[in-house]
Amino acid sequence: MPEIKETCDQGLLIVISGPSGAGKGTLCSALQRKMPNLRYSISATTRPPRKGEIDGVNYYFFSKEEFLKKVEAGEFLEWAEVYGNYYGTLKSEVGKLLKQGADVLLEIDIQGAMQIKKKFPQAVFIFIVPPSLEELRKRIIKRGTDSPEVIEKRLRCAADELSFIDEYDYVVVNDELEKALDKLVAIITAEKCRSRRVRLF
Ligand SMILES: Nc1nc2c(ncn2[C@@H]2O[C@H](COP(=O)(O)OP(=O)(O)O)[C@@H](O)[C@H]2O)c(=O)[nH]1
Ligand SMILES: Nc1ncnc2c1ncn2[C@@H]1O[C@H](COP(=O)(O)OP(=O)(O)O)[C@@H](O)[C@H]1O
Q: Please state the domain extents for the chain.
A: 6-41+102-200
pLDDT digits (tens, 9 = 90+) for 3-48: 555 555 578 999 999 998 999 999 999 999 999 999 999 999 999 9
- CATH H superfamily, domain 6-41+102-200: P-loop containing nucleotide triphosphate hydrolases (3.40.50.300)
pLDDT digits (tens, 9 = 90+) for 48-86: 998 899 999 999 999 999 999 999 999 999 999 998 999
Query: pLDDT tier at 147 (50, 70, 90 boundaries)?
Result: confident
Q: Is the C-beta atom of 80 inside 6 A of ligand 1?
A: yes
Tell how far the Cα of 107 is from the centroid of ligand 1, in angstroms: 7
ipTM over the 0.90 cut-off? yes
Tell how far the Cα of 81 is from the centroid of ligand 1, in angstroms: 9
Tell how far the Cα of 18 is from the centroid of ligand 2, in angstroms: 11
Using the predicted structure, report yes or no on whether residue 198 has a pLDDT greater than 70: no
In this structure, the number of other CB atoms found within 10 A of the CB of residue 139 comes to 17
Binding site listing = 18-25
Q: Please give the sequence-ordered ranges of beta strands (E in DSSP) within 68-162, or none if there are none.
A: 76-82, 85-90, 103-107, 124-129
- Alpha carbon nearest to ligand 1 atom 27, residue: 88
pTM of this structure: 0.93
Inter-residue contact 111 to 121 (CB < 8 Å): no
Q: Is the C-beta atom of 111 inside 6 A of ligand 1?
A: yes
- Alpha carbon nearest to ligand 1 atom 18, residue: 20
Q: Which atom of ligand 2 is nearest to the CA of 176?
A: 1
Q: Please give the sequence-ordered ranges of beta strands (E in DSSP) within 103-169, or none if there are none.
A: 103-107, 124-129
